[in-house]
Amino acid sequence: MARRCGGVAVIPYTDELRERLAANTRRHQRRQHSLDGRKHAAVAIVLVDSDAKREGRDPIFEGGGDGRAAIGFTNDMIPEEMRGLGLRMEGVAGGAAFVLCRRAAGLRGHAGQWALPGGRLDAGETAVDAALRELDEELGVRLDAGAVIGLLDDYPTRSGYVISPVLVWGGAEVELTPSPDEVLAAYRIGLHALRDCEPRFARIPESDRPVIQLPLGTDVIHAPTGAVLYQFRQVALEGLAGERVDHLEQPVFAWR
């Protein structure tokens, strides 16, 4: 049962939710992609509890600044269709949540962008191994394979990766300790915000595939992260087994 917080029906963090997410994911026939010269990576969709009052503000934008310098963005780096956005992730916490990261501004690739914790597989690792290792390295959350509740479809990226998403039950009292070298800030995004957002499917001249945009806070989340989260919503949260996302396009600025 959903509970209301500030007029919004949040999703409680319960054992019943864990069982439902796991059962829905098991009913989905996972699609895998061959690497074909690409690198294999994994990301963790880690489920935690959240508090709307304690975690409802965006720490990057506190103190009256616009936060863009901290993110590493200047206006000329932001695509024209995104320049009117506030770029803040606030007002979306409460109840069961997933963890979303703002990548550190000093990273060589995709600096300042939204991402799930994750990275490239090391030699001999499985996707589960890599997702759990990266979760520890990026957020200081150490869990074992017993916390894994399922895997979603592989998502091939324009930048030469095949990403395997791993669903992880993080625990209600988990503490997030972002690594400053990789993560500027970590956010608890209530599942109700993902459930209630209205995905956009834009068209661009560079591709005949639709570009997915998930509006969250005052920003939008693009693929690959947006595609992975959309499938999590459709398959694990809503129970729509068979919903695919590998046809969804990334924006051109994420192709590199």
State pLDDT tens for residues 47-61: 999 999 999 888 887
Cα 194 to Cα 37: distance, rounded to the nearest angstrom: 33
Q: What percent of the chain has pLDDT over 90?
A: 75
Model pLDDT, residue 212 = 96
Query: What is the number of other CB atoms lying within 10 angstroms of the CB of residue 71?
Result: 22
pTM: 0.91
Q: What is the mean pLDDT of residues 190-198?
A: 98
Q: E strands of the chain, at which residues?
A: 3-5, 8-10, 39-48, 97-103, 114-115, 118-120, 148-151, 155-156, 161-171, 183-190, 200-204, 207-216, 219-222
* 184 close to 3: Cβ distance less than 8 angstroms: no
Model pLDDT, residue 74 = 54
Query: What is the number of other CB atoms lying within 10 angstroms of the CB of residue 78?
Result: 17
**CA atoms lying within 13 Å on the CB side of residue 192:** 23
- The CATH number of 3-56+65-254 is 3.90.79.10
Cα 46 to Cα 188: distance, rounded to the nearest angstrom: 10
Region of residue 44 (left: phi > 0; alpha: psi -120 to 50; beta: else):
beta
Query: What is the number of other CB atoms lying within 10 angstroms of the CB of residue 53?
Result: 10
- Residue from 132, 126, 131, 135 nearest 144 by CA: 132
Q: E strands of 135-243, at which residues?
A: 148-151, 155-156, 161-171, 183-190, 200-204, 207-216, 219-222
Determine the distance from the C-alpha atom of residue 78 to the mean position of all C-alpha atoms in its chain, rounded to a whole number: 20
Model pLDDT, residue 230 = 98
Cα 223 to Cα 221: distance, rounded to the nearest angstrom: 7
Amino acid at 185: A
- Please identify which residue in the block is written with the tokens 């109700």: 192
Cα 118 to Cα 115: distance, rounded to the nearest angstrom: 8
Q: What is the mean pLDDT of residues 209-224?
A: 94
Model pLDDT, residue 56 = 87
Give residues with Cβ within 8 angstroms of 196, minimum separation 6. 8
Residue 83 clears pLDDT 80, i.e. is over it: no
pLDDT tens figures, 95-108: 999 999 998 755 55
Residue 8 clears pLDDT 80, i.e. is over it: no
| Banded model confidence at residue 5, pLDDT cuts 50, 70, 90 | very low
| Banded model confidence at residue 256, pLDDT cuts 50, 70, 90 | confident
